[in-house]
A and B are shown apart, each in its own frame.
Chain A
Amino acid sequence: MSIMAGKGSSFSIDVGAGLAAVSQVIGITPPEGANETFEADYLGNASAGIPHQATGRTEGGSASAEVWLDNTSHAGLIGLLATPDTNGFSCSIGFTSGTWTFTGAGLTFGGGSVALSDGVKANLAVKLSGVAAIGAGT
Chain B
Amino acid sequence: MKAELVKDLVASPRTVVPTVMDADGHRIVPKGTVIEGVAMRPWFYVQMGAAVPLDGECRMAAGLTEAQIDVQVKLYEAKRAGIQPEDMAAWQAGAMTGYDEEGDWIPGPKYTDWLAAHSSIILPGGDYDDDDD
Contact = CB atoms under 8 A, between A and B. Distances in A.
Q: Do A and B bind each other?
A: yes
Interface of A: 2, 4-10, 12-25, 68, 72-73, 75-76, 79-80, 83, 86-90, 92, 94-97, 101, 103, 138
A20 to B, nearest CB: 4
Interface of B: 5, 9-17, 19, 24, 26, 28-29, 33, 35, 39-45, 47-50, 62-64, 68, 71-72, 75-76, 79-85, 98-103, 106
Nearest to A83: B41
Contact of B82 (A9, A79, A88): A9
B17 A18 contact: yes
Contacts of B17: 16-18
Nearest to B39: A16
Contact of A5 (B14, B71, B103): B103
Given A15-B44, A20-B9, A21-B76, A95 B82 contact: yes
A10 B79 contact: yes
A136 B50 CA distance: 23
B10 A90 contact: yes
8 contacts: A16-B15, A17-B33, A18-B11, A19-B15, A20-B9, A72-B71, A75-B63, A79-B43
Contacts of B106: 95
A10 B81 contact: yes
Contact of B13 (A17, A22, A25, A101): A101
A17 B72 contact: no
Nearest to B24: A138
Contacts of A8: 81-83, 98-100, 103
B80 A21 contact: yes
B14 A87 contact: yes
A94 B84 CA distance: 12
B12 A18 contact: yes
A56 B73 CA distance: 45
Given A21-B48, A72-B68, A73-B49, A95 B98 contact: yes
